[in-house]
Structure 1
């Protein structure tokens, strides 16, 4: 039996995602003036879709159909945007966009921390017998 029905595990994975996203954004900001640096982003694959595809077995009825396969167990991956260039030096980091994403990610991370603290406070209350 999982404690809190797997909520702690889900919150932990979400915190890992937010932490990786924060590292990628700060790396982009740090390299805003680096020639030919290409911005990176953390792409979040829909966990529900991933779970559905893991639990449903699909059969290819024709060899030209796209195969069903899972690339990774992580719910996210880091991608590099090679298609754009915003600066004369080949750099494509948009500082305004990165700062907005950083603020949004910090709010997301803080909300996850508050949620996991609530779970641990509930557990502490139960251990203390409701006091």
Structure 2
């Protein structure tokens, strides 16, 4: 049973945030490992595309015109996936390690705030649903 249209999207966001927390923790754990490159995950674009599917804006879509039958067709939708990448914007130390402890702890704090915000939104979403059920049971 789906509570609201965005419930599944928020749950996926929580999953991505938990995965990102694990990746940041792994980066911090490998701060002393020679030649370790810090990793991160980009998932905001994936969630934005999923949100656009849930709440389409008709004025924002423009169909592609094909004036010739040999024109290429637009690409078909593929399963959206988050992308893992190396965070190489920082200077490597002498041992080749790119983990910057200040950056990692800052990213971990930001990720924790977003995770907690998603949990609060999920609680509010389910509370609204429960209050509707409770109100309908009383009548």
Q: TM-score, normalised by structure 2?
A: 0.71
* CA distance in structure 2 between the partners assigned to 1:70 and 1:45 by the alignment: 17
Structure 1 residue ranges (4+ consecutive) displaced by more than 6 angstroms after TM superposition? none
* CA distance in structure 2 between the partners assigned to 1:72 and 1:104 by the alignment: 27
Aligned residue in 1 for 2:135 = 129
Task: Tell me whether 41-50 or 10-19 shows the greater mean CA deviation.
Answer: 41-50
Residues 48/83 of structure 1: CA separation in 2 closer, same or farther (3 Å cut):
closer
Equivalenced residue count is 123
Residues 110/129 of structure 1: CA separation in 2 closer, same or farther (3 Å cut):
same
User: Unpaired segments of 5 or more residues in structure 1?
Assistant: none
Residues 68/57 of structure 1: CA separation in 2 closer, same or farther (3 Å cut):
farther
Q: Deviations over 1:99-120 (max 9, x none)?
A: 0000000000000000000111
Q: TM-score, normalised by structure 1?
A: 0.75
* CA distance in structure 2 between the partners assigned to 1:121 and 1:56 by the alignment: 38
* CA distance in structure 1 between the partners assigned to 2:86 and 2:31 by the alignment: 14
